[in-house]
Structure 1
Amino acid sequence: VVSRLNFSSEIDLAKYALEGIGKNFGKDIFKPYKTRQQDLNNRVAQGLVTDFTYLNFKTAYLLNPKYNLRIELEVTHRNEKNLTFNNTTNWITIGLRSSFRNIYYDF
């Protein structure tokens, strides 16, 4: 028996440092190496310390197993916070998803 209901979740927590204008602590890999701040006494997370939270929860219901046709409901919360700003984003998505697989072998 195929279970028609599916749940998934993702939780990401991070702490990192953002670079200010004109600063180069190494977070942006496209900045030139020669513009680094200093050669010695560096540490992890130099700059503006930022906390990041990402939460994602998804529920899917399988409508047609032959075509893997499912309806999905997804809720996402994203927060990026430091001394300068506190950005929060929440969104809800509803979708119809399918995968058309070509399951035959012609030898």
Structure 2
Amino acid sequence: MVGLVYALENYHQGKTIVTATQLQPVAEAISTIHGLYADIEQDEAGRAIWRIRVRVNAPELGLNAQDVEAQLRGGEIAIYARKYQLHQGVLSLDPRTVAEGEMALIVARLREIAEHAAD
């Protein structure tokens, strides 16, 4: 929860989250969600592009990565994740495609998906 508050404060101050250090609190907030574990990954080509990699523990969550990605995309506000590793239980969030304040919405949506998975 502290990570989410930190991310929200950064957005309210007009800061763009683009570095690994700046993404860390968001990854930590996602990792507090039951069945999800997040860390930071660098672009595959070695460029200074950082993403949040979300690993879905399907037995723990009750949903697999494909289900989580589909629910993100199919929500009232469509959230698109990188799907290259879905078959391995991993999706990635690219902050370059996220407007100010939207990362907190993504964390909130992931939390909502996890809470409803328990139903």
Whether TM exceeds 0.5 here: the answer is no
Tell me the TM-score normalised to structure 2 length: 0.26
Larger Rg: 1
Determine which structure has the larger strand proportion and give its number: 1
Determine which structure has the larger helix proportion and give its number: 2
Tell me the TM-score normalised to structure 1 length: 0.29
